[in-house]
Amino acid sequence: MSKNVSIDEMADVINEGLKEYATLASTEVKKAVRKSAKTVKEQIQSGAPSRTGRYKESWVATKQSESSQSLQMVVHSKNRYQLAHLLEKGHAKRGGGRVAGRPHIAPAEQAGVEQLQSLIEKALK
């Protein structure tokens, strides 16, 4: 769409277009962050060890803060957080020996970072 403007109005028109792009971009980035956080949560749940299933189901994605320009989401275990590092990295047994770690958080985090980057690149094109 072309629009005829005078030289005096050109700065205002450019500024208006940039504000519109910034609003659109921040909306799309927020959508990408929400989708990536949900994906990370689901991947952690699918890869988590489950003896009773309570640890696996304890993972949630919560909004930490949101402004007009940004959104921060955190994926965490709401009530079984004490087990996360023990299951991820392994631990010593009470009678001696070790329990092998079952990495399920780090792979999901890496996949989430890659997904977020691709979604943001796709949205801003």
The pTM (predicted TM-score) of the whole model is 0.82
**pLDDT of the chain, 125 residues: tens digit per residue:** 567 878 888 888 888 889 888 888 899 999 999 999 999 999 999 999 988 999 999 999 999 999 988 999 999 999 999 999 999 999 999 999 999 999 999 999 999 999 999 999 998 88
Of 58, 46, 112, 114, nearest to 84 (Cα)? 58
User: Does residue 66 contact residue 57 with C-beta atoms inside 8 Å?
Assistant: no
Q: Which two tokens stand for residue 116?
A: 């977020």
Q: Are 52 and 108 in contact (CB under 8 A)?
A: no
Pairing of strands 71-77, 59-66: antiparallel
